[in-house]
Amino acid sequence: MTLVDRTDNDDAGVFQITDEIAIVQTVDFITPVVDDPYIFGQIAAANSLSDIYAMGAEVSTALNIVAYDSCNVSKKMLNEILRGGSDKVREAGGVILGGHTIEDVEMKFGLSVTGMVHPKKILRNNTTKIGDKIILTKPIGLGVITTSIKANEAPKSAIEKAIFHMSFLNKTASELAIKFGANALTDVTGFGLLGHLYEMTNSKISVQLEFAKIPIIEEAFELAEDGFFPGGSFRNERYFMPFTKIDNSIAAFKRTLLFDAQTSGGLLISVPQENAKKLLDSLRLAGIEFAEIIGEVVSSKKEKIEVS
């Protein structure tokens, strides 16, 4: 029986097999975001696995999806990408069963992933409750940094931070969100922070954020001011702006950062207020030290998201 499908605008599809078991399925693949093939493999895999964690599920199996130009990309380089992917899947506790490769002038890599979850324990993205606190587990600014990497304008420190965050699995963050009774869960990817937050809202609630609390990679500010945004970030801003109200004192480039399209971004956790601080402390203790409580869920207002 289908529990979640594409009409739900959620992170992955869910299909119930027995009273105890539902499978969670997702597919994602990306073009290179860094130069090192092994690291690209790790990031692409962490990005693909993230939607399983965003449903509160565990990773079971994965299939490689590869597009590459065999005339210009060496077999050695391809093997490094696959090794990066396979190491991440192993870290996730899953196995790669196979995959498919095609010829393409533009390199692409990712995974089709299957996870498992108890049918009653699925964490959807739009089931927040009034009074919940919203926690973000990774800083934003990754789209700005990967765009500046492509333009050869990224400072070394920015590249190192982006690699650290993008290759970091959302596994532990998801497990802790479950442990502390999260009401809703999603991950921040192509629609940016406010785009994915908008997907968490519904007709009964709105979300209030404090700009100063939102973790942002320091180097991303200057790069954002210089305009290194991926095209998707501006599209997100145009699309989601009518549903949001951002304080006028916040500079335009900082506003666009809130819509910056992320690769392998963090989780957005909606957690009961009484557990928020405990969850935050546990996340930080587990090495997810950039996690922050960025706002709260309130009863529905004119705008679905307010940033002050």
Residue 190 C-beta: closest distance to Co ion, Å:
8
Per CB under 5 A, does 237 bind Co ion?
no
Contact 106, 32 (CB under 8 A): no
Rounded to whole angstroms, the Cα distance separating 184 from 205 reads 13
Q: Nearer Cβ to Co ion, position 25 or 202?
A: 25
The secondary element (H helix, E strand) that includes residue 279 is helix 273-285
Long-range contacts of 5-10, Cβ-Cβ distance < 8 Å, separation of 24 or more = 8/124, 9/125, 9/126, 9/199, 10/55, 10/124, 10/125, 10/126, 10/186
Residue 268 C-beta: closest distance to Co ion, Å:
10
- CA 176: distance to chain centroid? 16
Per CB under 5 A, does 187 bind Co ion?
yes
Q: Write out the binding residues for Co ion, residues 33-52 only, by CB under 5 A.
A: 51
Per CB under 5 A, does 199 bind Co ion?
no
Residue 95 C-beta: closest distance to Co ion, Å:
22
Angle subtended at Cα 238 by Cα 308 and Cα 148, rounded to the nearest 5 degrees: 85
Residue 231 C-beta: closest distance to Co ion, Å:
19
Per CB under 5 A, does 11 bind Co ion?
yes
43: closest CA among 76, 69, 93, 81?
Answer: 81
Residue nearest to Co ion (CB): 11
Contact 126, 12 (CB under 8 A): no
Per CB under 5 A, does 292 bind Co ion?
no
Q: Nearer Cβ to Co ion, position 199 or 237?
A: 199
Give me the 54-93 binding string for Co ion, x by CB under 5 A, dash otherwise: x---------------------------------------
Summarize as ranges the residues that interact with Co ion (CB under 5 A). 11, 51, 54, 187
